[in-house]
Structure 1
Amino acid sequence: MSFKPVVALVGRPNVGKSTLFNRLTRSRAALVADFSGLTRDRHYGEGRVGDVPFLVVDTGGFEPVAKDGILREMAQQTRQAIAEADIVVFLVDARAGLNAHDQDIARLLRTCTQHIVLAVNKAEGMSENAAISEFHELGLGHPHAISSAHGDGVVDLITDALEPFREAAEDEARLLAEEEAAGEGEGGAVAHRIKLAIVGRPNVGKSTLINTLLGEDRVIAFDMPGTTRDAIEIEFSQGGKDYTLIDTAGLRKRGKVFEAIEKFSVIKTLQAIEASNVVVLMIDGQQEVSEQDAHIAGFVLETGRALVVAINKWDGMDEDQRERIQREFERKLRFLAFARMHTISALKGQGVKPLLKSVNAAHAAAFAKLSTPKLTRELHAAVEQQQPPRKGIFRPKMRYAHQGGQNPPLIVVHGSALDAIPDSYRRYLEARFRAAFDLAGTPLRIEFKSSNNPYVEGKQ
């Protein structure tokens, strides 16, 4: 199971949480999930310190004693973020000093089981003692003087926050390497169980599909609620294939599955996607394709996971509704053209067997072993049919291709002047490689590597 510690940034308004969030995520993927409605006041991103990756959650200004209105809604969002987190970084303002809101938040955090780290922000230009002295009375350990805007002290802060989880991250990396080394079978295919995550908005039918896959009377032996790293894994078999189902819907014992909007966790969805080999993205055919569907799909694509799309509740739709949802899918989720789409009824079990066949095919494509001679022949055939456009007086020249990785497949193309290859030609090559190696269902990465001197190879 993939485990990334979850770091929640909390504090009253205007203490610099979003600035710290952008610094921790390097502003490169500052909003990997910003789901309207449920997560309006929470943003999610990825960070890394050394060998330890983590998920970071930015929250709105926290006023825990707010009783109504938007402040109450924001407080509920922050409480949810704290509940999902492994680590809470509590930001206060060195310039404004300690106030009653800080005291209210500290009282709440002292009752939490999460690892709490106190960060005194906006401390640039101040002596450390002057910045942190009055915040000792919050009773949350030694305060860290930092500047989110300038980066002062931020690395030390997050390194200290992640220290309790470093050993777990290192152990997981070692076990993953051992598993991959031991799991390669004939032809380079990975022989382990297919790790399958079923994701989607609340109430799209994830629970119903899970029960259909597991069998109505199946006793689920795993029930580990609590922190976000306690996601649930269930092993099952169908059609001679072994799967590990990574739950995002809140499974409970004796096959009972409960799902409610208030229990929907974005963090669990993101972690389940990262822990999986294949993702089934469920869409409610009786509703519009939403921004939330697109955000989830975008994160699947970003993480490189194999994907199958299931449009549920197909049996309850008339022909006009079916045409409408297909048009919406093609318009709003056209970046998922690589994925196979199935229309299903999770309740009646219709279309589930073909769905699993596509899951198997997507898994095989994600871990396919692509031979260098075949890749190079396909590359040359593609160039012969359509050469890359010139840039100035030079035309990029492609010499050979080889596989650089799996899950998702990475194809590395070597040649000269390849930095001039446009995205349109990259997409052309991707389509050629997909067709030649039957890579439906998985993202495909193409990397171009140019020789430092385009004439060097010719002289050797």
Structure 2
Amino acid sequence: MSEEPFADAAEGAGLDGTWSDETDWADYDHLSDELGEDSVPESGRPVLAVVGRPNVGKSTLVNRLLGSRQAVVKDTPGVTRDRVTYDAVWSGRAFSVVDTGGWDPDADGMYASVTSQAEMAMSAADAILFVVDANVGVSGTDEAAAKVLRRSRRPVIVVANKVDDQVAVAGTAELWSLGLGEPHPVSALHGRGSGDLLDEVLRVLPETPREQLGGAAGPRRVALVGKPNVGKSSMLNRLVGEQRAVVDEVAGTTVDPVDSLVELDDEVWRFVDTAGLRKRVKTADGTEYYASLRTKAAIEAAEVAIVLIDGSEPLTEQDLRIISMVIESGRALVIAYNKWDMVDDDRRRSLEKEIDRDLVRVRWAERVNVSAHTGRAVTKLAPTLRTALESWDQRVSTGQINSWLSDIVAAHPPPVRGGKQPKIMFATQAHARPPTLVLFSSGFLEAGYRRFLERKFREAFGFAGSPVRVVVRIKERKSSR
């Protein structure tokens, strides 16, 4: 959007870039609404679960249904472990698609939990896509899964995947033996038959989901982020009250973002568990690279992020990098120090020193000490989330900002640069989500002075838990004729 309205406002703010007590700042308040923010209400959608044994192409099919690469895909079986929800639209109808891990009734250990997640997804779905590898045919695992599906009382669509040409279509007749109706031949990789499959999905899906939580505006979106093995999935399971995400002692169990509706302090929230970030996205590879991209996208799709830090261990560079990622994305921030049941007095004193040293520029972040293992203080998360989101949504009127700014500039004028002192002529809050303060100046403002203004802005108006962006617009001098 053009910045001209702000330039015009700065021009009209006063004489020679100044303002007077008689200025009616209400005349300029509309400028802070011109950029606005995008807000997409989230209404109830019917849910489609995609299930099947490992490595039959479920995630590839999910990406085909979505029309974009959102689910993590790799040739190695077992990449998807949790149940992961995506929003889809076909022929003008919106619905949710739940990707699941490989379903194997004979699995043990962590993969038994993966199978359990798939079964939970089926129980909560309005319809089910049962994916079978047409090149392999019906396996014993497929037959066991079909037996469960026949008792599910949900519409089930059998998908014969990896049918890449017309010759392979004839081989799909064997899938009638599953007792789940006509198989639908598709090639998730190449897109063959995907349109007809989506038409069939819309035919069996109800207009509204069987169960719906939250109000018309939809629950606020919360991303759970942190490095591997800090307890993100354990925290999600504690909040949900069930084994919502797969938890294992092996770091990096979560690959895809996992989302759940959580009722916390009499309010429904949408929590998204994400993959642990080991390193920079640019230096990650393979599955880790795509998981990092999904985590970054989950942060950007959220409104507030809870950065989980292992309070029992020293802060790491990766902890600080993740906090910076949330700030750069412009999302509200809550820092939760997990495993507090393992923190003794010595560790508390050293942690305070680490915070004073390493997190001095994010003192504004909401902070809570919790334990996913014992449930300690998890009820305090909701008040801190509300505080952070209220700050993230907050707007300050143009009049209040400029009255505050006139006092600050009079007491602490901008530093001289190149022999000249810049003049700040006008200011307005251009955005909420995150709050963005735009300053119109006759010259460049040093980074240190911008940080000073941000700190004073927070002291005057709050914004606890939300980043505040300070943007400087330098007024170009009119050329003399």
Q: TM-score, normalised by structure 2?
A: 0.48
| CA displacement at 1:209 relative to structure 2 | 1.6
1:365 correspondence with 2:365: no
Please give the alpha-carbon distance, in whole angstroms, between the structure 2 residues aligned to 1:208 and 1:229: 15
Q: Residues 50-65 of structure 1 correspond to what in structure 2 (within 5 A)?
A: none
| CA displacement at 1:196 relative to structure 2 | 0.1
Please give the alpha-carbon distance, in whole angstroms, between the structure 1 residues aligned to 2:270 and 2:325: 21
Change (3 A) 1:298 1:402: same
Change (3 A) 1:217 1:428: same
| Alpha carbons 2:304, 2:332 under 8 Å: kept | yes
1:434 correspondence with 2:458: yes
Please give the alpha-carbon distance, in whole angstroms, between the structure 2 residues aligned to 1:262 and 1:430: 36
| CA displacement at 1:271 relative to structure 2 | 2.1
Change (3 A) 1:400 1:262: closer
| Alpha carbons 1:306, 1:442 under 8 Å: kept | yes
Please give the alpha-carbon distance, in whole angstroms, between the structure 2 residues aligned to 1:287 and 1:249: 20
1:422 correspondence with 2:446: yes
| CA displacement at 1:208 relative to structure 2 | 2.2
Change (3 A) 1:368 1:249: same
| CA displacement at 1:191 relative to structure 2 | 5.9
Which deviates more from structure 2 when the two are superposed, residues 367-376 or residues 267-276?
A: 267-276
Question: What's the counterpart of residue 195 of structure 1?
Answer: 221
1:386 correspondence with 2:389: no
SS of residue matched to 1:265: helix
1:354 correspondence with 2:376: no
Question: What's the counterpart of residue 320 of structure 1?
Answer: 346
Please give the alpha-carbon distance, in whole angstroms, between the structure 1 residues aligned to 2:358 and 2:405: 31
Q: Which amino acid aligns with 1:205?
A: G
Question: What's the counterpart of residue 450 of structure 1?
Answer: 474
Change (3 A) 1:218 1:298: closer
Question: What's the counterpart of residue 369 of structure 2?
Answer: 343
| Alpha carbons 2:222, 2:302 under 8 Å: kept | yes
Match of 2:299 among 273, 277, 292: 273
Change (3 A) 1:304 1:318: same
| Alpha carbons 1:197, 1:273 under 8 Å: kept | yes
Q: Which amino acid aligns with 2:411?
A: Q
Change (3 A) 1:219 1:336: closer
Residue-by-residue CA offset, 1:78-103 (whole Å, 9 max, x unaligned): 978xx79xxxxxxxxxxxxxxxxxxx
| Alpha carbons 2:396, 2:429 under 8 Å: kept | yes
RMSD: 4.1
Question: What's the counterpart of residue 166 of structure 2?
Answer: none
Q: Residues 41-440 of structure 1 correspond to what in structure 2 (within 5 A)?
A: 192-216=218-242, 231-248=257-274, 265-417=291-443, 419=444, 421-440=445-464
| Alpha carbons 1:401, 1:413 under 8 Å: kept | yes
| CA displacement at 1:278 relative to structure 2 | 0.4
Please give the alpha-carbon distance, in whole angstroms, between the structure 1 residues aligned to 2:304 and 2:75: 31
Q: Which amino acid aligns with 2:476?
A: N
Please give the alpha-carbon distance, in whole angstroms, between the structure 1 residues aligned to 2:255 and 2:225: 17
Of all paired residues, the percent bearing the same amino acid is: 34
Unaligned 5+ segments in structure 1 are: 1-52, 58-77, 85-110, 112-163, 165-189, 221-227, 251-260
Larger Rg: 2
Please give the alpha-carbon distance, in whole angstroms, between the structure 2 residues aligned to 1:424 and 1:366: 23
Q: TM-score, normalised by structure 1?
A: 0.50
Which deviates more from structure 2 when the two are superposed, residues 423-432 or residues 406-415?
A: 406-415
